[in-house]
Amino acid sequence: MIHTVTLNPSLDRTVEVDAFEPGSVLRARCVARGAAGKGVNLARGLVALGVPCTAAALAGRWEKPFFRSELARLGAEPVLVSGGGATRANETVIERSTGRVTHLRERGAAAGRSHLSRLARALLARVRVGDLAAVCGSAPPGLPEGAFAEFLGKLRAAGATLLVDTSGEALAEAASVRPEVLTPNAGELAELARERPGSPGEAARLARALLDESRDAGASELVVVTLGAEGAVAVTTREAWHARCPVSEIVSPIGAGDALNAGLVAARAAGASLGEALRRAVACGAANCMEASAGTLDPARVEVLAGRAEVRELTL
């Protein structure tokens, strides 16, 4: 079973305007709204690909009923625990005349170790040995040092395999735990490696260095680095691959990394090789870019894009 985990979820709304003019009154058309956050987006993508999952989140007291109905509607089992305050709200503005996308992001409500402990207990009632726990998105503000690593440690102690997609201090804590799968973007990889990759080959080299550091700990097995228009690289201690899937028309890139993770997880769960899984992953990321709503995937479109994806093995 796959369990997605979102510690800092959001209520997202995407609107379109003809032209974005700061300081003026603009007529906007809402094109998407709903529950979001990286783990929620991942769950949405997994369900679209036919993969069952649970969707766990820290949600505000007043927003919990909405999250419960939204998650159940998309087909994921909700696992919700009250966070430290109201769920944050995010706004995305798409400018039709230029294609520019503007994002307004709240930090979210502060949460403490007790909130994570309650969410861990709710998850541990469902996690079985061999399950995948995908912990995605930013950590809520106010978490004490070590709380995120402690949360990951509880999931691992229950026998879960860990996939982590986060940033900032939470990323550093996650790296110390050595999750089996780590999925940073280029900037986040630079935070860990203290060197910014200038090409897919350099990203693969830095990812391999992270794996070599963790080899003695016996945990990290795969690093997938997302590179925007350059696709992604997937690296283990035995092989490295680069894949990209160019898109001619981008509606919104929000959620592309989450969709990529969904494609990767679904393909690996089906037994695909690493190179083929990365092909499916970048196809899902590209398909998401053609939608207004984060994490939205059209399986038929994914199939077409997967056939167009460029995949090559890297020599390190």
pLDDT digits (tens, 9 = 90+) for 210-244: 888 765 555 569 999 999 999 999 999 999 999 99
**Which is nearest to 136 in space by CA: 87, 182, 193?**
182
**Which is nearest to 117 in space by CA: 145, 85, 155?**
155
pTM over 0.75: yes
Just list the catalytic residues.
Answer: 258
Q: Average pLDDT, stretch 99-122?
A: 92
For the chain, list the domains and their CATH numbers.
Answer: 2-7+36-84+109-313 (3.40.1190.20)
pLDDT tens by residue, 8-52: 999 999 999 999 888 888 899 988 888 999 999 999 999 999 999
What pLDDT band is residue 187 in, cutting at 50, 70 and 90? Answer: very high
